[in-house]
Structures are given as structure tokens and as C-alpha cells.
Amino acid sequence: QVLLVESGGGLVQPGGSLRLSCAPSGFTLDDFAIGWFRQAPGKEREGVSCISKNADITDYADSVKGRFTISRDNARNTVYLQMNSLKPEDTAVYYCAAGWVCGIAAEYEYWGQGTRVTVSS
């Protein structure tokens, strides 16, 4: 079953911004750490960011550090990924995933179907 739904992707020019959202279907996100991953065509899936269950820990890939910000709003049962200063190499399908702690992709229990981000002029 698909238990997470990503939204907010689209086409944006280099230097632009997007905000991705991750929302659950049928459960409460505040029980989980939430990670964002991305996969470009022909590339390995890579971790982008993660936020711990109580938001006291956030991690970012070096490639996005300083440009992306992860946050969670438990009242809205949603996790966000604010993406600024987007580059063509950010083009990928972005996935959110829920797990017990922040970690590698194989350690996450639940995944969404992804939202596509295209950065192009």
C-alpha cells in the first residue's frame, strides 16, 4: 500500500524555488522520522534530507546544503522540503519516506510514489 503522498513538483527555471509536501494516508507522521530521496533517470537513488521524529535533528546531502530546508508541521500532519536556488542537476523524482530514525533508504518502512521536479530553462 502507498501510505505517503508527495506533491509540489513541477517545472521550474534554474535559480527558482519549489516546496514539496509529504502527507500520509491513514496514519500520523509524528511517530516517524521522514526522509526525502530523489532519483534521476539512469542514476542511483540518493538521500536528500531527513528530519527526526521530534525535529531535533535534520540532515542534508552536501549537494543541497544551504539551498534546501526540511521542516515538519505536526498539526497539519505534513513534512515539507523547501528547495531554493534550484539547479538542473536537481532534476529528479522526489520521494518521501517514513522510518523509525533517519538513515539510508533501505531502512525506511513506508514510501510515496514520488513527485517529479524538472529544473530547466
Cα–Cα distance between 87 and 1 in angstroms, integer?
A: 33
User: Using alpha carbons only, how large is the chain's radius of gyration in Å?
Assistant: 13
Q: Give the closest residue to 50 by CA, choosing from 64, 38, 63, 34.
A: 34
User: What would the pLDDT profile of 3-14 be if each residue is shown by its tens digit?
Assistant: 899 999 999 999
pLDDT for position 74 = 86
How many C-alpha atoms does 2 have within 13 Å on its Cβ side?
10
Give the pLDDT band of residue 1 (cuts 50, 70, 90): low
| Residue 56, C-alpha cell as written in the block | 531535533
Mean pLDDT of the chain: 95
Q: Residue range 38-62: average pLDDT? A: 96
Q: Residue range 24-42: average pLDDT? A: 93
CB proximity list for 86: less than 8 A, separation 6 or greater: 12, 14, 15, 16, 17, 18, 67, 117, 119
Q: Residue range 55-63: average pLDDT? A: 96
In the DSSP assignment, the letter for residue 112 is B
| Residue 66, C-alpha cell as written in the block | 544551504
pLDDT for position 77 = 93
Pairing mode, strands 68-73 and 46-51 = unpaired
SS3 state of residue 106: helix
Q: Residue range 83-107: average pLDDT? A: 96
